Structure 1
């Protein structure tokens, strides 16, 4: 085992020690959970996990919130059951059970990437449980969504299985830094490696592939999001990375339109804004919660 691999394993072990496990819907879950006060639940996308929120959760706790970042089934340190619905709808139903299991009645919700469609569905079906919504670099106009070229092979049987072994160091490091970070040196190789280890380590990425193939980019789902979010009873905001190469200005405009938000909070960064702008994101969540 290389020194970088050992360092990544050490980071995964530290991440595991900083959270706790729980059971929701009969499935073992894992979550970061720090602080006292109103819960702020942070939902991740792909190919990430709760590890992406390891900097934001302590920032939220320091501002007087309970920061919670669960792993979806199939990602991170959660279970990867074969008999599970890995569609956005299935993940939203599991999220509702996870809220119950974690003792969360109402929360401020933070969503990112395809955690957006999942979180939107949960928020639309459970509006009474949402205090506010913060959308970070996500998508709502799903009918026209197509994964970027680097992710598209994962949606195709056989191609995804062949492409997944390619996306490992050093290729994964170049990919993560190019699409995710404004300053590539802001994360060590071990931190980047830990991100990908948490996707593939338990089952060689099989559940991740099922999640990628569970996307629901349909006109009906898009209409559901727009109609449901338009009638929400809670405040919302959009926080966006200035130079996101994955979800650019058209996706930003769609999210603003769906939420009825006039303008975004734009922060310097790329797609994985949580890595470089955790204090600013926490401040934005706190400001919306106070409003």
Structure 2
């Protein structure tokens, strides 16, 4: 019986041990990173500027699992449109610090406000948010509407509450949920990446980059923290506040999105009837890098 107990404990320890054995972000890795680093109030943030020095500023906020490299194709297109484009890695992803703390709305708002302050950027911003980045962007815009010229949402999160799934179960259970998440979610992420490897993309090597991200310590705990924080509730109040403030909104949806269903388009329309909606045919949730030209076309049209 003792051996059985030892074996069971060993099996139970596998997800936690695997996480602890993943490599951390090293100085050598950061030395190879594009862009620069800013030491902010919560930790070090990796960022990169693209486009003309004096163009209007566009801030791009990535999603739950794929860092700022998801914007590389989009950023080049935005730069050609004349924007000065700022992309950055949310904490726990990419080259930014893996720091402890609840990844809620305050957490992400503070990172962006800190970064904009560090870069001496004030208002007149075009803010783009993809997936979870859409929730970050909605909270930022609702809190600082005077700083935002236009809000652009790409398959944005915050349209519904996650419930009735294994991810929701892991999110809601303390300790046991952490184990369940570390045991199952890495496999789900890698399976999702593998399923998309045949798709065209505007980001060279993105699927290899995504796989590499899953090997870094602190990445999966950060994802879980975001699910327990920012993504626990909807952004209804924020979108209603944005509508009341009169901030122009462009929402681009993917027709075949399996993560943020197309029905969310109607939800946003209820919260903000003035939001302009565009649907990209045959696109899935990865539309910023798989259907980059169509997204850029929608943005270009929204500028008049």
Structure 1 position 265, deviation (Å): 1.5
Q: Could you report, residue by residue, the CA deviation over 1:51-97 in whole angstroms, capped at 9, with x for unpaired residues?
A: 21121111111221112221111211101112x34112321232222
Unmatched runs of 5 consecutive residues or more in structure 2:
1-28
- What are the within-5 Å matches in structure 2 for residues 2-151 of structure 1? 17-36=33-52, 37-82=55-100, 84-106=101-123, 107-142=125-160, 145-146=161-162, 149=165, 151=167
Q: How many aligned positions are there?
A: 271
| TM-score normalised to structure 2 length | 0.77
Q: Could you report, residue by residue, the CA deviation over 1:100-157 in whole angstroms, capped at 9, with x for unpaired residues?
A: 1223222101112122222111111111110101111113444xx1168474465244
1:209 aligns with one of 224, 242, 255: 224
Match of 2:121, SS state, is coil
In structure 2, how many angstroms separate the alpha carbons of the residues matched to 1:15 and 1:260?
46
In structure 2, how many angstroms separate the alpha carbons of the residues matched to 1:148 and 1:136?
25
The higher radius of gyration belongs to: 2
| TM-score normalised to structure 1 length | 0.80
- What are the within-5 Å matches in structure 2 for residues 191-206 of structure 1? 191-198=206-213, 200-203=215-218, 205-206=220-221
Structure 1 position 15, deviation (Å): 11
- Matching residue of 1:10: none
- Matching residue of 2:5: none
In structure 2, how many angstroms separate the alpha carbons of the residues matched to 1:198 and 1:208?
12
- Matching residue of 1:9: none
RMSD: 3.1
| Cα pair distance change 1:200/1:147, threshold 3 Å | farther
| Cα pair distance change 1:153/1:66, threshold 3 Å | farther
Structure 1 position 244, deviation (Å): 0.2
In structure 2, how many angstroms separate the alpha carbons of the residues matched to 1:78 and 1:14?
9
Structure 1 position 207, deviation (Å): 2.5
- Matching residue of 1:278: 292
Of 38-47 and 274-283, more deviation after overlay is shown by 274-283
Match of 2:240, SS state, is helix
| Cα pair distance change 1:72/1:206, threshold 3 Å | same
In structure 1, how many angstroms separate the alpha carbons of the residues matched to 2:63 and 2:206?
17
- Matching residue of 1:231: 244
In structure 1, how many angstroms separate the alpha carbons of the residues matched to 2:223 and 2:57?
27
